[in-house]
């Protein structure tokens, strides 16, 4: 099995190193690094904007570019957290706790250097995990029938809604809302229109481009339109020579890197967790096992190395359930899943055998892209730092321009522009009411496939719902669903014991950027 995987990986490098694929991989990681640095932008909004541009492309370069935006943005996101104490993107919020104190001590360059090393170590582990674990999962998943697939998707839906930030009840409500949006259009069995209200343009369903750009483009920008904060560049003067850590710093950082990498990879295997939860879990664990926990929050280099390694390990690991099982781990994975479906490719157990060029080319591009990101970050650190000084008010016109162009280009239809605007207004209202829209996209993408497999299961069992319990694998997945719901109820009901120290979330600096671009 190992030799087969290595042979397939070698063929994947042949795909990824084709000139046009390599160009799009480089473009993706470059754009990803750029939006990672810029406050207020992020992979969700950026991929939503770029999605219509991929319609005329071959699926391989399209997925390579969109994936590059995702993991490339994680490299740039740490720069704001360490140098400016701005948690622009949620996975890097915990990095502020020790990253900015290190910057004030004159060791911001060292923190950035450790971040690059930790990112590469974590990503390398996540890629290796995908090489050997994904084919194994596929081999198991080929034994699944519609009953098992339906139960597995239910795990993804519940995990994605209950583990998302904020109230679990609100998360479930948003997932159900996404499921309802996903069944708008013609019924796949009977052809009858559902929830279209007589609007013929909705007979084909709501476009994923309109939903993504509305919820994560227009709504997010409307939510932060009053942001006029000036960025303090007092500590942002960092050069290439400052980024080389000492032997002592490397010695302190290496064990936390390994622990964070392992924790991040484990979190990635649980649908719905994502890099944000992985970074918080790894930081809390590292502080707990440290012999000197009092150093954390005051410039401990381990407090930067551990969560950053965990973030990148989780980001790469998120592709495992998405590509091998068709279950997106987070919002960005749901978008990439939608991009594949738009190109006529159904992610899941058949992806490796039917579209080996996409699967193994994507894995090979991860290695290439992460090496490119290391090369881009070290010599170009001065340029990335200067980009931090761009006022956020100048980002609005350019971002909204690309949103409008993107949604119109998707179908040359003004109805979709209006559809995006309506969705954006609804998304803004939800954000103001503290309903985060991320689970909506998860429910929207998985909803039609969940319904299809549910109906197939009932047809096979002649309407007997007990089939979901009688089949062992399905019963196991349903047991996981019960455990997830029970855990959330337990956390909600248990009395909150008084703690001597503030929770990690309370120590993170409040900023209008922290909720953007999850």
3-state secondary structure of 227: coil
Q: For the packed helices 2-16 and 19-37, what is the interaxial angle rounded to 10 degrees?
A: 90
Output the pLDDT for position 514: 39
Output the pLDDT for position 497: 46
Contact 436, 518 (CB under 8 A): yes
pLDDT higher for 470 or 135?
A: 470
pLDDT tens digits, one per residue of 264-308: 888 777 665 667 778 877 888 888 888 887 888 788 888 888 888
Stated as kind and residue range, the H or E segment containing 185 is: strand 185-186
pLDDT higher for 97 or 404?
A: 97
Across 90-98, average pLDDT: 77
Across 60-82, average pLDDT: 83
Half-sphere exposure of 352 (CA within 13 A, CB side): 25
Q: Is residue 517 part of a domain?
A: no
pLDDT higher for 82 or 363?
A: 363
* Percent share of the chain, pLDDT over 70: 80
Contact 83, 95 (CB under 8 A): no
pLDDT tens digits, one per residue of 298-356: 888 888 888 888 888 888 888 887 777 777 767 778 788 878 887 778 777 777 777 88
> 419 — alpha (psi -120 to 50), left (phi > 0) or beta?
alpha
In the predicted model, is pLDDT for residue 241 greater than 70? no
Across 393-415, average pLDDT: 68
Q: Is residue 518 part of a domain?
A: no
Output the pLDDT for position 1: 56
Stated as kind and residue range, the H or E segment containing 350 is: none
3-state secondary structure of 193: strand
> 227 — alpha (psi -120 to 50), left (phi > 0) or beta?
beta
Output the pLDDT for position 470: 85
Domain with 346, as residue range(s), is: 2-507
Q: Is residue 445 part of a domain?
A: yes
Q: How far apart are CA 112 and CA 512, in angstroms?
A: 23
Across 491-502, average pLDDT: 57
Across 398-417, average pLDDT: 70
Q: How far apart are CA 116 and CA 373, in angstroms?
A: 9
Q: Is residue 516 part of a domain?
A: no
Q: How far apart are CA 438 and CA 160, in angstroms?
A: 9
Split into its structural domains, the chain has a count of 1
Mean pLDDT, the chain, integer: 78
Residue 90 is given by DSSP the state: G
Output the pLDDT for position 517: 39
Rg (CA), the chain: 22
Output the pLDDT for position 317: 82
- Which string of DSSP letters, residue by residue, matches 398-438? HHHHHHHHHHHHHHT-HHHHHHHHHHHHHHHHHHHTT--SH
Residue 422 pLDDT class (50, 70, 90 cuts): confident
| Sign of the four-CA dihedral 33, 37, 38, 39 | positive
In the predicted model, is pLDDT for residue 143 greater than 60? yes
Residue 412 pLDDT class (50, 70, 90 cuts): low
Stated as kind and residue range, the H or E segment containing 93 is: none
Nearest CA-CA partner of 63 in 448, 338, 399, 385: 338
Q: Is residue 512 part of a domain?
A: no
Across 420-431, average pLDDT: 86
Residue 513 pLDDT class (50, 70, 90 cuts): very low
Output the pLDDT for position 203: 80
Residue 225 pLDDT class (50, 70, 90 cuts): low
Q: How far apart are CA 311 and CA 333, in angstroms?
A: 15
Q: Is residue 514 part of a domain?
A: no
Across 89-101, average pLDDT: 77
Give the range with max mean pLDDT: 165-169, 188-192, 208-212, 246-250.
246-250
Output the pLDDT for position 518: 45
Q: How far apart are CA 19 and CA 39, in angstroms?
A: 32
Output the pLDDT for position 495: 57
Q: Is residue 208 part of a domain?
A: yes
The C-alpha angle 389, 394, 397, rounded to 5 degrees, equals: 155
Q: Is residue 502 part of a domain?
A: yes
- Which string of DSSP letters, residue by residue, matches 281-325? HHHHHHHHH-S-GGGTTS--THHHHHHHHHHHHHHHHTHHHHHHH
In the predicted model, is pLDDT for residue 238 greater than 70? no
The C-alpha angle 317, 320, 325, rounded to 5 degrees, equals: 155
Contact 439, 178 (CB under 8 A): yes
Across 393-422, average pLDDT: 71
Residue 216 is given by DSSP the state: I
pLDDT higher for 20 or 449?
A: 20
- Cα 332 vs. chain centroid, distance in angstroms? 4
Residue that the structure tokens 């000492």 belong to: 246
In the predicted model, is pLDDT for residue 215 greater than 70? yes
The region of weakest confidence among 116-125, 188-197, 363-372 is 188-197
Token digits for 208?
């994923």
Contact 43, 69 (CB under 8 A): yes
């Amino acid at each position: 099995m190992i030799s087969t995987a290595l042979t397939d990986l070698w063929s994947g490098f042949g795909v990824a190193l084709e000139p046009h694929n390599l160009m799009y991989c480089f473009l993706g990681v470059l754009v990803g690094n750029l939006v990672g640095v810029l406050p207020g932008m992020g992979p969700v909004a950026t991929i939503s904007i770029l999605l219509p541009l991929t319609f005329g492309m071959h699926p391989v370069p399209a997925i390579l570019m969109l994936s590059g935006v995702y993991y490339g943005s994680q490299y740039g996101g740490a720069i704001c957290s360490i140098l400016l104490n701005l948690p622009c993107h949620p996975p890097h919020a915990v990095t502020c706790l020790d990253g900015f104190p290190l910057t004030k001590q004159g060791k911001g360059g060292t923190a950035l250097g450790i971040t690059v090393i930790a990112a590469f170590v974590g990503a390398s582990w996540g890629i290796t995990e995908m090489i050997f674990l994904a084919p194994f999962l596929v081999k198991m998943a080929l034994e699944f029938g519609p009953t098992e697939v339906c139960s597995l998707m239910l795990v993804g839906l519940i995990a994605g809604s209950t583990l998302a930030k904020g109230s679990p009840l609100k998360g479930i409500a948003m997932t159900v809302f996404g499921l309802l949006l996903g069944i708008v259009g013609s019924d796949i069995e009977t052809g009858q229109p559902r929830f279209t209200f007589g609007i013929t343009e909705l007979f084909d369903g709501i476009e994923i481009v309109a939903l993504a750009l509305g919820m994560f483009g227009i709504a997010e920008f409307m939510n932060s339109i009053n942001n006029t904060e000036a960025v303090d560049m007092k500590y942002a003067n960092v050069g290439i020579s400052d980024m080389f850590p000492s032997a002592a710093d490397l010695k302190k950082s290496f064990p936390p890197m390994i622990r964070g990498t392992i924790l991040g990879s484990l979190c990635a295997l649980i649908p719905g967790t994502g890099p944000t939860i992985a970074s918080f879990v790894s930081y809390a664990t590292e502080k707990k096992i440290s012999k000197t926990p009092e150093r954390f929050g005051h410039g401990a280099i381990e407090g930067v190395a551990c969560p950053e390694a965990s973030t990148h390990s989780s980001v790469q690991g998120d592709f495992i359930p998405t590509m091998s099982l068709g279950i997106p781990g987070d919002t960005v994975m749901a978008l990439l899943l939608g991009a594949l479906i738009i190109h006529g490719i159904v992610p899941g157990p058949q992806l490796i055998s039917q579209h080996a060029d996409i699967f193994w080319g994507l894995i090979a591009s991860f290695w290439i892209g992460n090496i490119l990101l290391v090369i881009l970050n070290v010599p170009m650190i001065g340029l990335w730092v200067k980009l931090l000084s761009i006022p956020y008010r100048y980002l609005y016109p350019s971002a909204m321009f690309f949103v409008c162009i993107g949604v119109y280009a998707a179908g040359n239809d003004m109805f979709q522009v209006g559809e995006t605007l309506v969705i954006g207004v609804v998304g803004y209202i939800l954000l103001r009411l503290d309903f985060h829209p991320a689970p909506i996209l998860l429910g929207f993408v998985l909803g039609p496939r969940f319904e299809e497999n549910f109906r197939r299961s009932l047809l096979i069992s002649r309407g007997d719902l007990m089939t979901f319990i009688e089949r062992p694998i399905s019963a196991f997945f349903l047991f996981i669903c019960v455990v997830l719901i029970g855990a959330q109820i337990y956390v909600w009901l248990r009395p909150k014991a008084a703690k001597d120290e503030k929770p990690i979330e309370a120590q993170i600096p409040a900023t209008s950027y922290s909720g953007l671009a999850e």
